[in-house]
Amino acid sequence: MNNNNTTYRPLGDYIRPVDVRNRDLKVTTLVGLSVSKEFMPSIANTIGTDMSTYKIVDTNQFVYIADTSRRGDKIAIALWTQQEKAIVSSIYTVFEIVDREKLLPEYLMMWFRRPEFDRYARYHSHGSAREIFDWAEMCATMVPVPPIVEQRAVVAEYEAVARRIAVAKRTIATLQDTAKTLYRKMFVDGIDKENLPEGWRWGTIKDYCQKMTSGGTPNRGCDEYWNSNDHSWLKSGEVQNNVIINIEEYISTKGLENSSAKLIPAGTVVMAMYGATAAQVGYLTCETTTNQACCNMICKSNLDSAFLFFHLLFSQEDIKRLANGGAQENLSQELIANQPILLFDDNNCKQPFATILDNLVVSYKEIEKLTEIQTIILSGMGR
């Protein structure tokens, strides 16, 4: 981008609010917003709700949630790119760009994805009970507006990377579906649980693993436990039926020594025991510590880890139904340890799952690298 041609202007010079209500009830697609800056199917209970008051969102329009107090460090904002219209809650703010020959919607959405924008919006949010990033503050936001040709170029570069990420995500979904189908064919369909093939027998997860352990959380009040990136520290919320490569937080060696946290080796299979991701599993590609909501299952070999990962993925709904608790589902390490699993004298039947897991790791690492490229593109905007 030619920096000499880039000028910063108030966003209000380019956007206007949109308030079209669903009066005739023709639009039925209800969506919400996530802090990952994406639209998602709404989980709100709308029984008895007057949907005519909901706002309609059309192609190339933005939606954001002004209340920033309950979303951590992220601002929930997204660009609707589909041709079919959708509806959102009446408390959401809908807006659009006045002239798309001066500012591209895709370019502006890239600006909103920058962490600098999130920090700016949080800093300029006001209120006591609730902090609000209101429309006036949105309009006062200064954004770089290079010539439209340069905007198109940087959007094309970013979207090319996004398409590669989408391909990798589809590959991951296909690999997981393949593993589940293979598991069912080999170990469920046509198998008499009372008369297993020779060399097969039933055991428990505890029998299968070399070791099972949970983790711990160092005292958040002690800065010296958190002020050094000595050891990564995995939270159960990061366990999302995934291969875990990058971990969000770190603790110091003192934090490790003065808590129940433990070093967990690469190749470990992790299950979230409670919270939003209860019963979901992850495969560690790096050594890490974890919090107490992670059940860490250390295996003797990569073959064992691969089979356990896909066994738990296949059995996930059955295990989740065993959870107890009110506001949030809770599993215990003991409950997980006592879950049944097939044990084999011959490990050859595990090999296909190790191959699939290896390919999953490759796809997750590719996404990691591509995401870093996107970050570099975003950081270069306006420079």
Q: pLDDT tens, 263-313?
A: 999 999 999 999 889 999 999 999 999 999 999 999 999 999 999 999 999
Instruction: Specify the higher pLDDT residue, 203 or 193.
Output: 203
Percentage with pLDDT > 90 across the chain: 85
Average pLDDT over residues 120-148: 92
Same fold, 3-146 and 175-346: yes
Average pLDDT over residues 130-147: 94
pLDDT digits (tens, 9 = 90+) for 200-243: 999 999 999 999 999 999 999 999 999 999 999 999 999 999 99
Instruction: Specify the higher pLDDT residue, 92 or 190.
Output: 92
Token readout for 1 is: 């981008």
Task: Give the gyration radius of the chain's Cα atoms.
Answer: 24
Q: Tell me how many degrees the CA angle 31-280-207 measures, rounded to the nearest 5.
A: 170
Taking the CB of residue 119, how many other CB atoms lie within 10 A of it? 12
Provide the pLDDT for residue 246.
Answer: 92
SS3 content of the chain, % helix, strand, coil (to 5): 40, 20, 40
pLDDT digits (tens, 9 = 90+) for 69-113: 766 678 999 999 999 999 999 999 999 999 999 999 999 999 999
What are the angstrom distances between the C-alpha of 123 and each of 62, 290, 380?
21, 31, 22
- 3-146: CATH, from 3.50.50.60, 3.90.220.20, 3.40.50.970, 1.10.15.40: 3.90.220.20
pLDDT digits (tens, 9 = 90+) for 315-371: 999 999 888 765 567 899 999 999 999 999 888 999 999 999 999 999 999 999 999
Provide the pLDDT for residue 4.
Answer: 52
| Domain definitions of the chain by residue range | 3-146, 175-346
- Residue corresponding to tokens 């669903």: 22
- 175-346: CATH, from 3.90.220.20, 3.90.1580.10, 3.30.160.60, 1.10.3720.10: 3.90.220.20
Among residues 279, 262, 280, 277, the alpha carbon closest in space to that of 211 is found at 262
Among residues 278, 272, 282, 271, the alpha carbon closest in space to that of 323 is found at 278
